[in-house]
Homo-oligomer: A and B are copies of this chain.
């Protein structure tokens, strides 16, 4: 049985932006953390809701057809599946939860922002 994973230690272990790290898997879902800054691309996830939990910094989730969601540290927001959105951050650290099959750029699969999640789980 593995030990617990430290989210603060994991966040201290990397500096690159928009490159999610897998913290743990639960059922068919992945819990990830990422550091993000500036604007991402507009995209949607057709097959999964996407949870954002703001750990540090500032984050606004822009949503097609809806008001922006301005998040404070400690806030949590779920983008429903299929809703086009764009995160805009200021030196933010975030936790994300979504189905394990979810791609960071969603339906924009040919974007140069598309990136593989790095598995940061400790090996036992």
A interface residue numbers (CB < 8 A to B) = 1-9, 23-27, 29, 31, 48-51, 53-54, 63, 66-67, 69-72, 74-78, 81, 83, 97-99
In the complex, which residues of chain B have a beta carbon less than 8 angstroms from the beta carbon of A69?
Answer: 1, 3-4
The CA-CA distance from A97 to B95 in the complex, in Å, is 13
Minimum C-beta distance from A37 to chain B (A) = 19
Nearest B residue (CB) for A66: B1
In the complex, which residues of chain B have a beta carbon less than 8 angstroms from the beta carbon of A1?
Answer: 63, 66-67, 69, 83
Residue pair B27, A29 in contact (C-beta under 8 Å): yes
In the complex, which residues of chain B have a beta carbon less than 8 angstroms from the beta carbon of A50?
Answer: 26
Nearest B residue (CB) for A47: B27
